[in-house]
Amino acid sequence: MKNIFFFFVLFLSIGHLSAQPIDDVFGSTISMVDIGIFDSRATPSSLLKKKTNLQNNTYLFQRFENGSVINNKNKRYSAHVNFDLLSGKLLIQDKNGIWAIYDGEIKYVETTNRKFIFLEYKKKNGFFEVLTSKKIALLKKWSIFQKMDTSNPLVAANELHRTYSKKSILYYYSPKFRKAKKLPTKFSKFLAIFEKQQQAMDKYIKQNNLSFKKEKDLVDIFTYYSTLQ
């Protein structure tokens, strides 16, 4: 993955609620048949009945969100987007229903205030939420696990009554690595991420009483690192 791709160029305008290109210069209407497979679990009519409320299923967002999708040909599209945390797929909703998009077709996705990029990790590819993106990126990998109701086996066996909980793991990424890596759990190994700036980072973290295990503090730490020469 080229360095220029890593630093994202994530400055796209947020488009309208259609699957049309944001700018005509980027080509024709996106073809879901070419880049996705239809997800038969949900149709426009079923979504309408639920008012697109997806809180109790396997999707990242409670509702499909208006966003921008950039494919590997650098074409930009506006679309209703979501992520299926069980399959790890990007989902796009159009008038025909919901499409699960092939991993290799998309570079990155933006919603109103969140950014997602597709990277290699653990010998496979997946989407990561971008928390910081300069020098070394701080990333969040979302996943999901099923909560079983063991008190009532009949209810637990019924898919309609299954509930899920979301969880996330923090990663970091640099073009040197060519893939996302999980943040170390030991402070000495965490500092090693910053190579020649370990001493400066250690001082900054301690002076500001920051924790390398808290997401908010990590955003501060990685943002500060990006200012060092």
List pLDDT tens digits, range 25-48: 223 344 554 555 555 444 443 443
**How much is the pLDDT for 194?**
94
d(CA 110, CA 117): 9
d(CA 173, CA 181): 6
**Strand stretches in the chain, DSSP E:** 36-39, 65-71, 76-84, 89-94, 97-101, 106-110, 115-121, 124-132, 137-147, 163-173, 181-182
Given a cut of 80, is residue 24 above it in pLDDT?
Answer: no
Which has the minimum average pLDDT: 17-21, 165-169, 171-175, 204-208? Answer: 17-21
Average pLDDT over residues 130-155: 80
d(CA 107, CA 6): 10
d(CA 114, CA 21): 20
Q: What pLDDT band is residue 22 in, cutting at 50, 70 and 90?
A: very low
76-84 vs 89-94, strand pairing mode: antiparallel
**How much is the pLDDT for 50?**
40
What is each CA distance from 8 to 4, 158, 227, in whole angstroms?
Answer: 7, 42, 18
Nearest Cα to Cα of residue 61 among 81, 88, 39, 37: 81
Report percent pLDDT > 90 for the chain: 37
pTM above 0.85, yes or no: no
- Comparison of pLDDT for 44 and 153, the residue scoring more: 153
* Residue position matching structure tokens 């109103």: 112
Q: What pLDDT band is residue 57 in, cutting at 50, 70 and 90?
A: confident
**How much is the pLDDT for 138?**
96
Average pLDDT over residues 120-124: 79
Exposed, middle or buried, 3 (CB in 10 Å: 0-12/13-18/19+)? Answer: exposed
Longest dimension (CA), the chain: 61
Beta bridge partners of 39: 98
Given a cut of 50, is residue 18 above it in pLDDT?
Answer: no
d(CA 87, CA 100): 9
Report percent pLDDT > 70 for the chain: 68
What value does the mean pLDDT of the chain take? 75
Given a cut of 80, is residue 198 above it in pLDDT?
Answer: yes
Given a cut of 50, is residue 49 above it in pLDDT?
Answer: no
Q: What pLDDT band is residue 159 in, cutting at 50, 70 and 90?
A: low
Average pLDDT over residues 61-78: 87
CA angle 171, 176, 177 (to 5 degrees): 45
Average pLDDT over residues 203-224: 97
